[in-house]
């Protein structure tokens, strides 16, 4: 167990710190400890049933949603989940449908994690994390059928809408997936398309500029994502921050639709937590002692996700 | 319960095929198939690691996935990331710091175009486990076995759906479990290390947990097949006398029997 640097040792080793007040030295001591021993730092907090940002283990960060701020886009949304900020813009264009799917349009979601949102992302081609998250977002939107691609058809086998859903993270503080899915859903609800008609004789699609724009035909069931992480096989942390994320050995993401129907469950790593409650009373032939205290945290997470979804829906319906 | 198109029971997987490829330039390689859904995995390690990826206290574990056709795109990256996260708990990487364990998986069946490749992902994970066992160069905590499960539109849970069964399906998912010597083989104590479940109709939690139980039993069968393949390759016999009905207490008494 590492000994935290004391304020006295810090100021004695580096004489140029002597101008700092006692309070500032304490803060410096804490942040040095956080940098050098992140796991122990988090353990110390969790022993007191609180996380470094002051939340309880099952508390979520505040969510803010703003729509329609990008006037050049067909729809847009800005989501802030604590410090994690994601902007999503929607652009539509017209293309020819695929040969084997002549009545379907296209939905192309993408998430970009540029270097400006966090020091862990370097400039250059999209990192693996951005690609994996984009893929998961695509799978979620397809599985939930939130925007059925058949509603994007203008003329069968001739013209259909392509909806580009581009999200950019401008500040990364963990849990980008939840924030991005919320931003994409909000942006789609904000999107309006011009009325398009296909002219058979000219083989062209025309959009009426003066006609009122049409909203997208979205499904009634809104998919919302809730992510959790398991720390040290002991504590389930809801909505992990970027400090907590690398310390978690397992993550669970639950995506729920209306009526609490499960759209997606993704669990990476073991979901078992050691429950320090009562010892099991059956005469078990289990040789390992702590085994009968292990509990599957997946049902707990699904239950917590249900409650959270109600809160998120309230926020979403306000905009 | 209506029979499946190929006559299997609901909890039966397609015929498994496990072979060791003996690729010459890597440390271990193996091919795993569920019927005609097949994947080939090769593992090299511990080998030299490039400086940027070097880790001071453990080996770096990298997974690359190549689809059957086309260059690897975002989907391959996603499956690779999932395989990496699934297998990492089973490897003891701290024994070989500042080195690289490189796993390359080649899909031998085409990717499904408009649905997620559950069965292919399961075959890939099993091929990786088999390749790691074949290499025997990376210390392992346990062996991961994965299986795909789906929920058909009639409401029945089917294990290891074939491609035509996947066409009209309410939801499907893949579960991976870690097995170790005498843990999880004959009981339900194996940890689920990876779950990826997608549903188009929306499912209740109870149905997913039921699917997970069925997947666990199937994964036990796959683990036994993995063990048998390794035993056969070494020219040894597998001790099949420990049947599931004998229960946990039996398995602890018979520790003196050779278990692979």
Examine the pLDDT at B13 and tell me if it is beyond 70.
Answer: yes
In a domain, B252, yes or no: no
The confidence score (pLDDT) of residue B247 equals 36
What is the CATH number for B186?
A: 3.30.230.70
> Model pTM?
0.85
**B249 contact A CB<8A:** yes
Closest by Cβ to A262, choosing from B81, B89, B202: B202
B248 close to B186: Cβ distance less than 8 angstroms: yes
Structural domains of chain B, count: 1
B88, part of any domain: yes
Residue B260 has a pLDDT of 38
- Taking CA–CA distances from B205, the nearest residue in chain A reads A262
Is B28 a domain residue?
A: yes
A181 interfacial to chain B (CB closer than 8 Å): no
Asked whether residue B22 is domain-assigned, the answer is yes
User: At what angle are helices A298-318 and A176-190 packed, to 10 degrees?
Assistant: 40
pLDDT at A288 over 50: no
Mean predicted lDDT score pLDDT of chain A: 87
Least Cα distance to B177 among B241, B246, B226, B237 occurs for B226
Query: Quick one: pLDDT at residue A282?
Result: 38
Chain B residue whose CA is closest to A300: B205
Candidate from B197, B204, B252 with C-beta closest to A285: B252
Residue B65 has pLDDT above 50, yes or no: yes
Pairing of strands A75-81, A63-67: antiparallel
pLDDT at residue A268 is higher than 70: yes
Q: What is the pLDDT of residues B108-117, one digit of tens each?
A: 988 776 666 8
Residue B251 has pLDDT above 60, yes or no: no
Residue B238 within any structural domain of the chain: no
Return the pLDDT at A12.
Answer: 59
Residue B16, pLDDT above cutoff 60: yes
| pLDDT (0 to 100) of residue A108 | 94
What is d(CA B173, CA B177) in angstroms, rounded to the nearest whole number? 13
pLDDT at B257 over 80: no
**Average pLDDT of span B236-240:** 70
Look at residue B8 in the predicted model and tell me its pLDDT: 85
A66 within 8 A of A41, measured Cβ to Cβ: no
Residue A175: the pLDDT is 93
Q: Give the residue on A whose Cα is nearest the Cα of B253.
A: A285
CA angle A115, A118, A124 (to 5 degrees): 20
Query: Which domain does B212 fall in, by range?
Result: 16-232
- Residue B216 CA to residue B8 CA, distance in Å, equals 18
Task: Give the 3-state secondary structure of residue B212.
Answer: helix
Q: pLDDT digit string (tens) for A17-47?
A: 778 788 888 989 999 999 999 999 999 999 9
Q: pLDDT by residue (tens digit) across B165-211? A: 887 788 888 999 998 877 666 666 677 778 888 877 667 778 888 88
What mean pLDDT do residues A64-76 have? 93
With the CA atoms of A237, A240, A246 and A250 taken in that order, what torsion angle do they form, in degrees rounded to the nearest 10? 40
- Asked if residue B115 is part of any domain, the answer here is yes
pLDDT of residue B105 exceeding 60, the answer is yes
Residue whose C-alpha is closest to residue A253's, from A145, A165, A181, A168: A181
Q: What pLDDT is stored for residue A286 in this prediction? A: 39
Prior bond of A175 cis (ω within 30°): no
CB contact under 8 A, B204 and A262: yes
Q: Is residue B4 part of a domain?
A: no
**pLDDT value of position A285:** 38
Residue A166 in 3-state DSSP? strand
CA–CA gap between residue B257 and residue B260 (Å, rounded): 10
What is the nearest CA distance from A12 to chain B, expressed in angstroms? 30
pLDDT 10s digits, A203-227? 888 888 888 999 999 998 899 999 9
Residue B235: band (very low, low, confident or very high) from pLDDT cuts 50, 70, 90: confident
Nearest Cα neighbor of B93 from B54, B42, B125, B139 is B139
Contact, A36 vs A2, CB < 8 A? Answer: yes
Angle at the Cα of A248 from the Cα atoms of A229 and B145, rounded to 5 degrees:
85
Radius of gyration of chain A (CA): 24
Residue-level pLDDT at A21: 86
Q: Is residue B73 part of a domain?
A: yes
């Amino acid at each position: 167990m590492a000994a935290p640097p004391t304020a006295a040792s810090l100021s004695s080793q580096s004489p140029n710190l002597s101008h700092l007040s006692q309070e500032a030295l304490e803060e410096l001591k804490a942040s040095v400890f956080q940098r050098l021993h992140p796991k122990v730092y988090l353990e110390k907090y969790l022993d007191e049933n609180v996380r470094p940002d002051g939340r309880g283990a099952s508390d979520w960060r505040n969510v803010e949603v703003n729509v329609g701020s990008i006037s050049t886009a067909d729809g847009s949304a800005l989501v802030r989940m604590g410090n994690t900020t994601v902007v999503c813009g929607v652009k539509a264009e017209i293309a020819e449908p695929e040969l084997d799917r002549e009545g379907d349009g296209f939905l192309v979601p993408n998430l970009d994690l540029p270097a400006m949102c966090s020091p862990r992302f370097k400039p250059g081609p999209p990192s693996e994390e951005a690609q994996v998250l984009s893929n998961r977002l695509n799978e979620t939107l397809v599985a939930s059928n939130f925007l059925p691609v058949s509603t994007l058809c203008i003329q069968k086998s001739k013209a259909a809408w392509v909806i580009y859903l581009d999200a950019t993270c401008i500040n990364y503080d963990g849990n980008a997936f939840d924030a991005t899915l919320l931003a994409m859903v909000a942006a789609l609800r904000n999107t309006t398309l011009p009325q398009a008609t296909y002219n058979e004789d000219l083989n062209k699609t025309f959009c009426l500029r003066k006609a009122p724009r049409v909203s997208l035909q979205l499904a009634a069931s809104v998919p919302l994502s809730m992510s959790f992480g398991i720390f040290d096989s002991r504590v389930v942390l809801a909505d992990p921050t970027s400090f907590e994320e690398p310390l978690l050995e397992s993550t669970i993401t639950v995506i729920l639709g209306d009526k609490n129907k499960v759209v997606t469950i993704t669990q990476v790593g073991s979901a078992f937590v050691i429950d320090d409650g009562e010892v099991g009373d059956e005469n078990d032939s289990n040789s390992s002692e702590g085994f009968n205290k292990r509990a599957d945290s997946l049902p707990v997470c699904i239950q917590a996700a249900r409650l959270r979804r109600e809160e998120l829906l309230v926020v979403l319906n306000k905009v | 319960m209506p029979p499946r198109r190929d006559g299997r029971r609901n909890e039966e997987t397609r015929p498994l095929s496990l072979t060791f490829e003996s690729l010459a330039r890597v440390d271990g390689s193996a091919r795993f198939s569920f019927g005609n859904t097949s994947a080939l995995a090769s593992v090299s390690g511990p080998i030299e690691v490039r400086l940027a990826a070097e880790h001071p206290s453990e080996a770096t574990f990298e997974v690359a996935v190549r689809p059957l056709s086309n260059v690897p795109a975002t989907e391959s990256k996603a499956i690779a990331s999932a395989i990496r996260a699934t297998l990492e708990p089973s490897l003891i990487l701290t024994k070989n710091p500042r080195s690289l364990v490189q796993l390359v998986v080649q899909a031998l069946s085409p990717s499904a175009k408009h649905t997620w490749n559950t069965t292919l992902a399961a075959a890939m994970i099993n091929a990786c486990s088999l390749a790691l066992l074949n290499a025997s160069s990376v210390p392992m905590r346990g062996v991961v076995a994965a299986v795909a499960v789906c929920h058909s539109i009639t409401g029945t849970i089917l294990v290891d759906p074939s491609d035509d069964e996947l066409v009209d399906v309410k939801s499907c998912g893949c579960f991976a479990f870690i097995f170790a010597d005498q843990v999880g083989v004959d009981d339900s104590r194996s940890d689920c290390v990876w779950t990826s479940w997608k549903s188009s109709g929306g499912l209740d939690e109870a149905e997913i947990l039921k699917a997970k139980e069925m997947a666990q039993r199937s994964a036990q069968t796959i683990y036994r097949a993995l063990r048998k393949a390794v035993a056969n390759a070494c020219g040894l016999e597998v001790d099949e006398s420990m049947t599931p009905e004998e229960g946990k207490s039996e398995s602890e008494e018979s520790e003196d029997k050779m278990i692979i």
